[in-house]
Structure 1
Amino acid sequence: MTAELAAGGESGPVAVLANPTAARGRHRALLPAVLDRLGAAGRPVRLLTAHTAAAALAACHQAVADGAGALLTVGGDGTVHLALQAVAGTPVGFGPVPAGTGNDFAERTGFPADPLAAVDVIAGALRAGRSTPVDLARITDAAGATRWYGAVLAAGFDAIVNERANRLRWPRGPRRYDLAILVELARLRPRHYTLTLDGIRHDLAAVLVAVGNCASYGGGMRICPAADPTDGLLDVVVGGPMTRRHLMRIKPRVYQGSHVTDPLVRSYRARTVELSADGIIGYADGERVGPLPLTITAVPAAVRLLR
């Protein structure tokens, strides 16, 4: 389903948030070509400058407040995550240019994997005044603060590994994540979760818990393979108590989504998911959200994609 951009969306400037460190700077040289192709769409283009995540978030909010007709990101899922906080629930069109290590939201919502091909799709939508609404997930924490995500919230082993990796000061780069996996595998144990799905409570033990608006996270891992960002629902995948060997055996299957056929893995679907466990920090779109309990709600047509 497509829709015309709301009033102001066809004339306001196009704001662009670029992350020069995305994919370890591999796509940094793309930015001039991105800006040139957007300029050819006949709209003024404004490059947002920010050197920290907090500054990027503030710049996105300010651009929307100043009347931007569209907001684009050049980066990965982390950059997308920042921009979604500003455009969610607004008529401002959004275009993710996939230029990061993980581009799950862009690719699972129909954008080409090639960054310049994605820019061409976005420029075409801008010229035509066209947008496509898709769902987002809204997180509410115990204090009532809200946050949006587009792809997947992790609240099990993968989240624990992320938290461990973020605390390590050595080694640098991807080896830090590898070390965190080894440390947490040695400490693997089922955690007790309370999972309330549309008001129905489930008490269970698990090592993997993911809540997906889209199918994948982590650069193509199809943890919630049936998730559809246009159905108004969240997919919840739970891996029950399992040994280290069993977990490592099913992990490669996540890339194809076939892990959900394992007898220790269960899948659910709901509009609202209340998730509680002691000592777990949730990560959404790969970004640290905060400790459980969290309530996640599917919000239909919460963002208007430029495609």
Structure 2
Amino acid sequence: MLAVTAHHHVPPGPVAVLANPTAGRGRHRGLLPRLLERLDAGGRPLRLLTAGTPAEAEAACHAAVADGAGALVAVGGDGTVHRALQAVAGTAVPFGPVPAGTGNDFAADTGFPADPLAAVDVIAAALRDGRTRPVDLARMSAPDGGHRWYGAVLAAGFDAIVNERANRMRWPRGPRRYDLAILVELARLRPRRYTLRLDGEELNLDAVLVAVGNCASYGGGMRICPDADPTDGLLDVVVGGRFDRRTLMRVKPRIYQGTHVDHPLVRSYRARTVELAAEGITTYADGERALDLPVRISAVPQAVRLLR
């Protein structure tokens, strides 16, 4: 799938490293010294970025790129990758994701090993050889001019609503909060009216699931847009129509294999530009809270160069 020609150029400058110590509930926290040691084999000075919050992490990445970083490496999950992508998208600064989070969908779908140490070895070798491979990103923009980049999938249906509910809940802590949010939103499940414009062609539909994928997976290996290819210059749109509670719960496990797209209530589309509108929905991109609908999403070919 990712048989894209390699480019031989990594700009001069130190390698900026963003590490999220809380990624994956902290299970790789003790790994950072070993990761940095192996990254050192890339032959570039390393600069560890410090940040206490996701917003600070994003600002630190922007500052590092502005200060002339030769590359950016993110150690964490899709949330950490999402923050880093805002700074490197559309620039010549190459990027390496080290999968150390709960969900590592962007790294997996763009061909990096699942093991953080193995991924760092791939990145170090690419730095040493000056090798990068371009992949597409998606760029979303709001009517007020705000915009975000994302690498994996934008959720704009039931999953986004559940995320929004879980983020508002103060109790319980940890993953059980998400399970409870699912139960609450399942009880309130109803199809919503969406307006979709795919390369200018308008569709009006009732749906409970809407996902726009640059890559195939979200949520830690759920292949919601199973045919999405981050090198084809297109976005994959998967729409789950008028599901009732029971049908949705029966179909949801099939998303891990990507076989949900065979269900008669599921429709798949492909477009360069997707305009999406619905009442009262906040989207989630790469698992991170993003923009309220309506949004316009464009596939941006070769928007980021990966160190692999």
Fold match (TM-score > 0.5): yes
| Conserved? CA contact 2:136–2:303, under 8 Å | yes
**Could you tell me how far apart the structure 2 residues matched to 1:131 and 1:26 are?**
29
* Equivalent residue, structure 2, for 1:255: 256
| Conserved? CA contact 2:209–2:239, under 8 Å | yes
| Conserved? CA contact 1:134–1:305, under 8 Å | yes
* Equivalent residue, structure 2, for 1:185: 186
Q: Could you tell me the percent identity over the aligned residues?
A: 78
| Conserved? CA contact 1:5–1:91, under 8 Å | no
Single out whichever of 203-212 and 30-39 deviates more from structure 2. Answer: 30-39
* Equivalent residue, structure 1, for 2:70: 69
* Equivalent residue, structure 1, for 2:198: 197
Deviation at 1:41, TM superposition (A): 1.8
1:3 has 2:4 as partner: no
TM-score for the superposition, normalised by structure 1: 0.98
Moved over 4 A (4+): none
1:303 has 2:304 as partner: yes
**Could you tell me how far apart the structure 2 residues matched to 1:258 and 1:152 are?**
17
Deviation at 1:242, TM superposition (A): 1.3
TM-score for the superposition, normalised by structure 2: 0.98
The DSSP-based 3-state class of the residue aligned with 1:112 is coil
**Could you tell me how far apart the structure 2 residues matched to 1:72 and 1:264 are?**
40
Deviation at 1:99, TM superposition (A): 0.2
**Could you tell me how far apart the structure 2 residues matched to 1:273 and 1:251 are?**
24
Q: Give the aligned CA root-mean-square deviation in angstroms.
A: 0.6
Number of aligned positions between the proteins:
304
**Could you tell me how far apart the structure 1 residues matched to 2:272 and 2:168 are?**
33
**Could you tell me how far apart the structure 1 residues matched to 2:117 and 2:79 are?**
19
Deviation at 1:5, TM superposition (A): 1.8
**Could you tell me how far apart the structure 1 residues matched to 2:180 and 2:147 are?**
32
Q: Which runs of 5+ in 1 are unaligned?
A: none
Matched AA of 1:3:
H
Single out whichever of 11-20 and 32-41 deviates more from structure 2. Answer: 32-41
| Conserved? CA contact 1:73–1:80, under 8 Å | yes
Matched AA of 1:2:
A
Residue deviations 1:19-72 (CA, integer Å, cap 9, x gap): 000001000111001111111221100000011111111100000000000000
The DSSP-based 3-state class of the residue aligned with 2:42 is coil
Alignment of 1:156-175 (within 5 A): 156-175=157-176
Alignment of 1:90-239 (within 5 A): 90-239=91-240
Residue deviations 1:185-236 (CA, integer Å, cap 9, x gap): 0000000000000000000000000000000000000000000000000000
Deviation at 1:162, TM superposition (A): 0.2
Single out whichever of 269-278 and 30-39 deviates more from structure 2. Answer: 30-39
Matched AA of 2:103:
G
Q: Which runs of 5+ in 2 are unaligned?
A: none
Deviation at 1:290, TM superposition (A): 2.3
**Could you tell me how far apart the structure 2 residues matched to 1:39 and 1:215 are?**
32
**Could you tell me how far apart the structure 2 residues matched to 1:247 and 1:54 are?**
34
